[in-house]
Amino acid sequence: MFKISKEHSVYSMSPKNEPVLYVPVNAQIEFETCDCFENQIKSASDSFGGLDWSRINPATGPVYINGAEPGDILSVKIDKIEVDNNGVMVAGKDMGPLGHLMERHTIKIVPIENDTAIFSEKIRLPLNKMIGVIGVAPKDSEIACGVPDYHGGNMDCKEITEGAVLHLPVNVPGALLALGDLHAVMADGEICICGVEVAGKVTVTVDIIKNKPLPSPMLFSDTHIMTIASHEDLDEAVNMALLHMAEYLRSESAMPLDEVAMLMSLAAQVRICQVVDPKKTIRVEFPKDLLS
């Protein structure tokens, strides 16, 4: 197994980032990650104003996958997600859809024990460990790790979890995979700009699907196929994800578009991953058993 420490991190995904590791196809890689605040918050009494916001959403990497070329798909299987014993949350003025109702900033430390997050004395939540930031280098630009787009990035999709397989478009030689921003618990929407933000480790296995362009990320779980799209306008993100799913179903089933549209109206679920990043993220889920 290849390993990368959290000291090797980037704040943007870019074709100019120097790889910290070169791996072959089918390599298993362990990424050590900081939380989205780069572990700056140690206690609930820390000064919110003292945070260095230039160090937000670091991603560990990037990794160069030998043989990956533009026009290929990078397939990333999420083998394992391990999280630390404490997570952190923040809420406050102008942060997320409810931020306009708040006058102060609050930091909350969330202990993690026995696969549960201890929100309070009376409220314990089961973990749903997931990866907030995961992506490859864009073709010819630099995109901050906090921004989701066609390359992946800060999609904050709670289904990017253990056992899932994420497909990302390869835009530059080697793909340049990086990931971080783990959450121990998070609901769809990420309403107050965060889940239970936590440091940890992620183990993945990488593969390449040759000569198969991909317009935006796709995710495969045991039960569903998902298309993911991000845009400043939520409606446009929905349209992008729906179009990608329709095109995928047509190519896999040879069904005409009108049949695909009707079937999607019956079986495809439109979900909101997050509404707090510079671009909002949508996923469309379609059950695998119907395609079989």
Q: Domain end: 160, 186, 220, which one?
A: 220
We report the CATH number of the domain holding residue 81 as: 2.60.120.580
Number of structural domains found in the chain: 2
Instruction: Compute the Cα dihedral for 153, 156, 161, 165 and give only its sign.
Output: negative
Are the CB atoms for 87 and 35 separated by under 8 Å? yes
Containing H/E element for 114? Answer: none
On whether both 216 and 231 belong to a single domain, the answer is no
- The residues facing 129 across adjacent strands are none
Coil, helix or strand for 274?
strand
pTM over 0.75: yes
Q: Domain end: 165, 191, 220, which one?
A: 220
What is the rounded distance in angstroms from the CA atom of residue 276 to the CA atom of residue 272? 11
For 221, other C-beta atoms within 10 Å of its C-beta total 15
21-23 and 59-65 strand pairing: parallel
**How does pLDDT run along the chain (292 residues), one tens digit per residue?**
999 999 999 999 999 999 999 999 999 999 999 999 999 999 998 887 788 888 999 999 999 999 999 999 999 999 999 999 999 999 989 899 999 999 999 999 999 999 999 999 999 999 999 999 999 999 999 999 999 999 999 999 999 999 999 999 999 999 999 999 999 999 999 999 999 999 999 999 999 999 999 999 999 999 999 999 999 999 999 999 999 999 999 999 989 999 999 999 999 999 999 999 999 999 999 999 998 8
Determine if the peptide bond prior to 62 is cis (ω within 30°).
yes
We report the CATH number of the domain holding residue 268 as: 3.10.28.20
Residue owning tokens 């480790």: 201
Residue whose C-alpha is closest to residue 70's, from 150, 3, 144, 156: 150
Residue-number span of the structural domain to which 47 is assigned: 2-220
On whether both 195 and 271 belong to a single domain, the answer is no
On whether both 108 and 160 belong to a single domain, the answer is yes
Instruction: Name the CA dihedral angle for 229, 230, 232, 235, rounded to a multiple of 10 degrees.
Output: 20
What is the rounded distance in angstroms from the CA atom of residue 65 to the CA atom of residue 44? 40
On whether both 158 and 27 belong to a single domain, the answer is yes
